[in-house]
Amino acid sequence: MKTSLIISLLIFISCIAAAQQPATTDTTRRKADTLVAAPASQPQPTVKTEPATTSQPRQRRDTRPLIKRFDVDFNTGFWANSTQATGEVMVTVAYKFPKILSIGAGPTYVFSYNRQVDKNLNGWGGKIFTRAQLLKFIYLWTEYQGLSNQYISDFNPVTKSKAYSDSWFWGAGINFFGINLSVMYDILHDSKSAYAGATIYRIGYSF
């Protein structure tokens, strides 16, 4: 009887001891694998790629040949009233910008005949001007002109004097086949002016 109790006690203790044993090796390995974190993935460095630039040769803005940039004009003007008739001869050289504007200058000779006293009057000088070619055949014109000009200072006796006179013309014209026709108005016209009146008419020829 005592032997049976001892055997039963040993079996009971063995069961308790088995229940207290740690988890099996496979279970432990699985838990360890779970606990071991996978290494964090490192972000790849971003490589900035710049677009390839191709160097282009610098282009000239104005590719016209030199002869196309300049304009040479020969102009004549005329006007008359009841007391005086006047003619004008001038040569101008102008630089033509790529679009519509031109600037130029040139010498001027003015001849006048005073019918009242039967005297010839002369004037020499120069001018500068700007032209705007608005349309193919139509242009606007403004011009400043200075002359050393003769005029009648006294009628009894008839006396010719010389003075500087300036003119500022505004006008418009048409050009076709190298011929220019224009009408100008002198806003500075006075008694010492070389022109018979403030309005003059011109005919020009371009080369």
Output the pLDDT for position 182: 93
Which range of 14-23, 56-65, 86-95 scores highest in mean pLDDT? It is: 86-95
Answer whether residue 82 shows pLDDT above 90: no
Instruction: Express each pLDDT in 97-134 by its tens digit.
Output: 988 999 999 999 999 998 889 999 999 999 999 999 99
pLDDT over 70 at 35, yes or no: no
What is the model's pLDDT at position 7?
Answer: 61
Residue 70 CB: number of other CB atoms within 10 A? 13
Q: Is the pLDDT of residue 6 over 60?
A: no
* Structure confidence at residue 78 (pLDDT): 84
Three-state secondary structure call for residue 100:
coil
In sign, the C-alpha dihedral spanning 196, 200, 205, 207 is positive
The Cβ-side half-sphere exposure at 207, using a 13 Å CA radius, reads 7
How remote is the C-alpha of 154 from its chain's centroid? 53
Q: Residue 197: is its pLDDT beyond 60?
A: yes
pLDDT band at 83 (very low <50, low <70, confident <90, very high): confident
Mean of per-residue pLDDT scores for the chain: 80
**Confidence at residue 109, expressed as pLDDT on a 0 to 100 scale:** 96
pLDDT at 29: 54
Q: Is the pTM of this model over 0.75?
A: no
Contact call for residues 81 and 197 (beta carbons, < 8 A): yes
The model's confidence at residue 151, banded by pLDDT at 50, 70 and 90, is confident
Residues 148-171: what's their mean pLDDT? Answer: 91
Closest CA to 189 of 178, 180, 181, 200: 200
Per-residue pLDDT, 53: 57
For the segment 161-187, the average pLDDT, to the nearest whole number, is 92
- Neighbouring residues of 35: CB distance < 8 A, sequence distance ≥ 6: none
Q: What pLDDT, on a 0 to 100 scale, did the predictor assign at position 58? A: 67
Structure tokens at 186: 């002198």
How far from chain centre, in Å, is Cα 131? 17
